[in-house]
Structure 1
């Protein structure tokens, strides 16, 4: 992608956080932002680095993760195109407490703190939109904690596979895993081996078919009820 031709103000205007801003405001915000091209495995930031900006994934996938004292990686969130991260931390004047790394080739917009503070001062409604976005993120994290605490591994996998399907969906559907099975397993707080075991169980019961990263849901209504008879 030719970064010099990338229309950053226009891209920002399409994001929910910025879509009510006027062209002069978008120009100011873009002037305080930067575009970054990342290859798979490139770091966005490290634990302990100072946080002076927040980030938006334009293309690709970013994983937010922590490392346990034993050296095990736990993926906290997988961020896809159009989604932002590190907004809340940017306002705390504290360093990053997790790591971020590209799971695939990515294009990233990093929006500087000073540019954000300038627009908040100029228009308090911008602050309200940012708070709304942070509230949605918090709600999602609370739902995740509830799922880990109250749902079995099988239920978590089924919930992940059906998360984007309409409630009144048809009998069959197809899901393309955006990242590796190991990454998704970490996101669901399970080992890769157990994640694969659950997929085999669902496949043996005629509920899904697995073809590398494509998973065909053969009967979404039965899958939603599984393992109930």
Structure 2
């Protein structure tokens, strides 16, 4: 099988900035073991908007986000849908490692980012030497599945305004004086797909929250004028 060439070069991480130390799968291992595993890592830098891999690619690597944020999307008959976003310490590509299947998603950098990359062959050696890694990997997959099930249940039982309100209240924010400001990390269409609604429903929900005085919209920046109204 031909695998995609990712143009990787060796990486030498400082002991104070180990990529693997950020990852739950490796975080509980002794420092000496983390340093050993870090020796297998390769860096991959991505520019904002650049794809790490695409849906259907044959890949033979596991990717750990070191810096930056990326999005996972799926192409379907009714368009492109956002699956989730990943940030430092999170892993993508583990499904291909565990099952050998080609990915059913595309990973694209939302900002300039760096990944730590492990070849499947090297990861196999790591697991053979440290079986606890496999257990932690399965635990991480199980946790993600549980979160996905909870999200599906939550989306099924709430309307568009409630979904958007919960999303805004749970998003990172900056301060503008006394006001919290959320900057959408993606386009409004992508956020809508993540929340399980059409772009039209998303726009109507924004309009309702704006009219109520809960928020003020300025492009991708949303000022939370009255957070209490988002919980009512």
User: Is TM-score (shorter-chain normalized) higher than 0.5?
Assistant: yes
Please state if 1:130 is matched with 2:137: yes
SS in 2 for 1:134: helix
Report what 2:25 is aligned to.
Answer: 17
Contact 2:95 2:101 in 1 (8 A): no
The more displaced of 109-118 and 38-47 is 109-118
Alpha carbons of 1:125 and 1:111: their partners in 2 closer, same or farther (altered >3 Å)?
same
Q: 1:174 aligns with which of 174, 181, 185?
A: 181
Once the two structures are superposed, what CA deviation does each residue of 1:155-180 show, in whole Å capped at 9, x if it has no partner? 21111111258xxxxx9643232223
Contact 1:175 1:214 in 2 (8 A): yes
Please state if 1:33 is matched with 2:41: yes
Q: 2:89 aligns with which of 82, 85, 92?
A: 82
SS in 2 for 1:91: helix
SS in 1 for 2:19: helix
Report what 1:195 is aligned to.
Answer: 202
Please state if 1:61 is matched with 2:64: no
Contact 2:24 2:89 in 1 (8 A): no
Tell me how far apart the structure 2 counterparts of residues 220 and 136 of structure 1 sit (CA, whole Å): 30
Tell me how far apart the structure 2 counterparts of residues 14 and 93 of structure 1 sit (CA, whole Å): 25
Q: 2:104 aligns with which of 66, 85, 97?
A: 97
Once the two structures are superposed, what CA deviation does each residue of 1:191-217 show, in whole Å capped at 9, x if it has no partner? 334322211210110111223333222
Cα RMSD for the two superposed structures = 2.6
**1:110 Cα deviation from its structure 2 partner:** 1.8
Report what 1:168 is aligned to.
Answer: none
Please state if 1:112 is matched with 2:129: no
Contact 1:29 1:115 in 2 (8 A): no
Contact 1:36 1:109 in 2 (8 A): yes
Report what 2:4 is aligned to.
Answer: none
Tell me how far apart the structure 2 counterparts of residues 177 and 6 of structure 1 sit (CA, whole Å): 32
- Structure 1 regions of 5+ residues with no counterpart? 166-170
Report what 1:153 is aligned to.
Answer: 160
Once the two structures are superposed, what CA deviation does each residue of 1:109-143 show, in whole Å capped at 9, x if it has no partner? 22222233223222332222222211221112112
Tell me how far apart the structure 2 counterparts of residues 179 and 81 of structure 1 sit (CA, whole Å): 17
Q: TM-score, normalised by structure 1?
A: 0.82
